[in-house]
């Protein structure tokens, strides 16, 4: 599957790795301590394959249906893949999501938390969960608003007993992302949640400086996406 037409992916990947290392060093953080979730959404398996062949194992997809079409074969070929769901999850897709994903980054409402708890009990599979926080209070965006976050995090832990590991945010497109990263980091500290998933192609060095443990990077690795997606 790997061929020269996708050589740009590995070049991009090396550039991202060195930019992350530079940001880690600048922030006084251990080089290699921040993990990169390579976001392959809209890109065909043939474009993801070179990164897997180079040894990378951490990937993200934003749609259950697309991931279900692409990833079972890739997971079978490359043991040790860790696949993150980074897009909104409908309750009618919870069964499929729990079966396929290793981390669900977008837990954002009680109905979804309840459905995840039920499916985890039924299937015995317990993918790690992150709570998505709508730090920009954007009405069109998923995520729990910051003023409801404390209560929702406690509900996920205490009522639903979800394997809650961290928090995720997508700052507003035009805003300075740093206050949003700091808001997420403060919430993580308050709840002793070790994982902060924040930082995308346009702003990941700032996310590293603000304490991100996981960056979700698509365009800078795989190039521009086709119009839909």
Ligand X SMILES: *Cc1c(COP(=O)(O)O)cnc(C)c1O
- Residue 205 is a binding residue for ligand X (CB under 6 A): no
Binding mask 174-203 for ligand X (x = CB under 6 A): --------------------------xxx-
Nearest one of 164, 86, 163, 168 to 134, comparing CA atoms: 168
d(CA 44, CA 58): 16
CB of 60 to ligand X, least distance (A): 7
Shortest distance (Å) from residue 84 CB to ligand X: 9
Taking the C-alpha atoms of residue 116 and residue 162, their distance in angstroms, rounded to an integer, is 8
Nearer to ligand X, 11 or 154 (CB): 11
> Is residue 170 part of the contact set for ligand X (CB under 6 A)?
yes
Please work out, in degrees rounded to the nearest 5, the angle formed at the alpha carbon of residue 105 by the alpha carbons of 42 and 224.
25
Residue 216 CB, shortest distance to ligand X, in Å, is 4
Residue 81 burial (CB < 10 Å; 0-12/13-18/19+)?
A: middle
219 binds ligand X (CB under 6 A): yes
Q: Which of residues 26-85 bind ligand X (CB under 6 A)?
A: 39, 41, 62
Q: Where are the beta strands (DSSP E) in the chain?
A: 35-39, 58-61, 82-85, 103-107, 128-133, 164-169, 195-197, 214-217
Instruction: Give the H/E segment covering residue 220.
Output: helix 219-222
Residue with CB nearest ligand X? 218
CB of 97 to ligand X, least distance (A): 15
Choices 19-27, 109-117, 149-157, 218-226; region in contact with ligand X by CB under 6 A = 218-226
Q: For ligand X, which is the closer residue by CB, 121 or 223?
A: 223
Under the rule (CB under 6 A), what is the footprint of ligand X? 39, 41, 62, 86-87, 170, 200-202, 216-220
């Amino acid at each position: 599957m790997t061929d020269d037409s996708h050589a740009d992916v590995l070049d991009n990947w090396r550039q991202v790795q060195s930019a992350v290392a530079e940001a880690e060093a600048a922030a006084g953080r251990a080089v290699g301590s921040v993990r990169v979730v390579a976001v392959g959404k809209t890109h065909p398996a043939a474009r993801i394959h070179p990164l897997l062949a180079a040894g990378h194992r951490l990937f993200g997809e934003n749609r259950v249906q697309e991931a279900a079409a692409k990833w079972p074969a890739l997971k079978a070929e490359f043991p040790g893949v860790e696949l993150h769901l980074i897009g909104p999850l409908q309750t009618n897709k919870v069964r499929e999501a729990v079966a396929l994903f290793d981390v669900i980054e977008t837990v954002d409402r009680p109905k979804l938390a309840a459905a995840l708890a039920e499916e985890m009990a039924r299937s015995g599979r317990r993918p790690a969960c992150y709570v998505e926080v709508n730090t920009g209070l954007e009405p069109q965006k998923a995520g729990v608003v910051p003023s409801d976050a404390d209560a929702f995090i406690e509900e996920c832990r205490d009522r639903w007993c979800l394997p809650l590991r961290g928090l995720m945010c997508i700052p507003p497109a035009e805003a300075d992302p740093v206050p949003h990263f700091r808001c997420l980091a403060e919430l993580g500290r308050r709840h002793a949640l070790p994982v902060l998933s924040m930082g995308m192609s346009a702003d990941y060095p700032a996310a590293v400086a603000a304490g991100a443990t996981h960056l979700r990077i698509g365009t800078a690795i795989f190039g521009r996406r086709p119009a839909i997606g």
